[in-house]
Structure 1
Amino acid sequence: MLRKIPLAAVGLTVGGILTVVGFYAYAVGMNTLNLAGFFYGIPLLLGGLALKASELKPVPYTKETTPEVKELRSQATPTQEQLRKDVTRFRYGQEAHLDESLAKFGLSPTDEERPILVGLQEYSRDGAYTLLMEFYSPFFNLEQWQERREKIEKFFGPDIKAEITEGEESKIDLALIKDLALIKS
């Protein structure tokens, strides 16, 4: 619940209210309230504006997660769980979701060419928890992504298989699949 509330909005709201109260208190001669409004309100308001300027919105789910898949989350690897939580909350001070990871794969030579994470899905593939990330990738084609598949699998950790497919209109789908072969053996 709290992950869905942008910190910038909290700073802007509280800072704005305190600043207005400070100006009102100044106008009617209430010195103590005036100081509290100015000393707390204006810095909070400016902090909220700074956060808003560097805010990165959560990635939306493009398909609703079913209750059965939510139960499968228990078999998700720590990396899959961390990825899901990181990209579905507000972030601050980053250019794009997974920007550092994409740079390690050689998929981000410049900010303009970097693939953009535009959607997320969770589903079951042959009984295995799967996290699908949808990237808008007009500068890198399917073959360039597939050349980096082994690197992606190693980076996202043990017990993960990566499957890369082409989506619609310059989109690449990266599915991180929990490797059940290790559990069964």
Structure 2
Amino acid sequence: MSMNMAASLARGDTILCTHEPRFGICNSPSLHPGQPLRCLVQTRLRPSVSISTRHQPIRRVEVLARAADSPSSVSKAVVPDEGFSLAKVSFGVIGLGAGISLLSYGFGAYFNVLPGSEWSALMLTYGFPLAIIGMALKYAELKPVPCLTYSDAQALKETCATPILKQVKNDVTRYRYGDEQHLDEALKRIFQYGRAGGIPRGSAPKLQMIREEVTEEGKYCLVLVFEAKDLQLSDFEQRQAKFASFFGPGIAAEIGKGEDNLYEVKLISNTTPSASS
């Protein structure tokens, strides 16, 4: 066998090796002296597969790096809402939690299960009304809608957003009590509930979220996203001028159709960065 191998090497033939089936090139040149690189491995896997996949992660990293450094990804970065505000706190949860805590500890102290029996009457006296007030606030509570703000819109907000647009954002992104829905008074006047040419109150659109963005012309825009299962796009389009007049002055309104039963009302500020400066 060794004489045949030597003859094959002398002719320049390729020798198949089976002693190291995991690699594409033989790592034991001592078995084939003088011709270590001529030894190929007899394996079921194609060497091209292992060689091609070796460099694939590098290309992915390069693509992600280019996407992260692109101007479009930077301008469309979302501003995280991490600041604390009292408007984001539910007074119903606070009142209900404090009332139940006082009542629980008061009853425990009254029956000598917990220490502080001399304070049990005081805790029961204040715990009961706090729990009632908390339950009432929780029942009448209207939760804030989510707000999506892009970084380029955040930069234009202070100089280009009108006072009414700022007030609209502050009103819908905080807890409210006693209102059936956000922007209830505005929608009542625009859609004229129960009147001639209006819509039934049960078909009123409901605000789902808001979005702060910049238009292609570089103007600040506050987008109101409504859900209206019983309305059509034409019901919003024929009230486009009413949206502009109610949330004006100094804005233009545009109507768009979103996914499923969602409709977008874009309130675009007419103030440009050059004019404000």
User: With structure 1 as the length reference, what TM-score do the two structures score?
Assistant: 0.90
1:163 is aligned to 2:254: yes
Question: Where in structure 1 are there 5+ consecutive unaligned residues?
Answer: none
1:18 is aligned to 2:108: no
2:146 alignment counterpart: 60
User: In structure 2, how many angstroms separate the alpha carbons of the residues matched to 1:118 and 1:67?
Assistant: 21
User: In structure 2, how many angstroms separate the alpha carbons of the residues matched to 1:175 and 1:144?
Assistant: 15
Query: Deviation of residue 10 (structure 1)?
Result: 0.5
Larger Rg: 2
Question: Where in structure 2 are there 5+ consecutive unaligned residues?
Answer: 1-83, 195-199
Query: Deviation of residue 108 (structure 1)?
Result: 4.0
1:9 is aligned to 2:99: no
User: Quick one: which of 182, 188, 199 aligns to 1:97?
Assistant: 182
**Per chain length, whose mean CA-contact separation is higher, i.e. which structure has more relative contact order (CA < 8 Å, sep 6+)?**
1
User: In structure 1, how many angstroms separate the alpha carbons of the residues matched to 2:201 and 2:134?
Assistant: 25
Q: What SS class does the counterpart of residue 127 from structure 1 fall into?
A: coil
Deviations 1:65-91 (A, max 9, x none): 233221211121111001101111111
Contact 2:161 2:271 in 1 (8 A): no
Contact 1:108 1:115 in 2 (8 A): no
User: Quick one: which of 130, 133, 142 aligns to 2:221?
Assistant: 130
1:173 is aligned to 2:264: yes
One-letter amino acid of the structure 2 residue matched with residue 171 of structure 1: L
Q: What SS class does the counterpart of residue 254 from structure 2 fall into?
A: strand
2:60 alignment counterpart: none
Where do 4+ consecutive residues of structure 1 move more than 3 Å? 29-32, 107-111
Choose 48-57 or 23-32, whichever is displaced more: 23-32
Distance 1:123 1:107, change over 3 A: farther
Q: What SS class does the counterpart of residue 112 from structure 1 fall into?
A: helix
What is the count of residue pairs matched by the alignment? Answer: 182
Aligned residues: percent identity? Answer: 36
Deviations 1:127-170 (A, max 9, x none): 21110010001222111111111111111121011111111112
Structure with more strand by fraction = 1
User: In structure 2, how many angstroms separate the alpha carbons of the residues matched to 1:124 and 1:171?
Assistant: 20
User: In structure 1, how many angstroms separate the alpha carbons of the residues matched to 2:214 and 2:167?
Assistant: 18
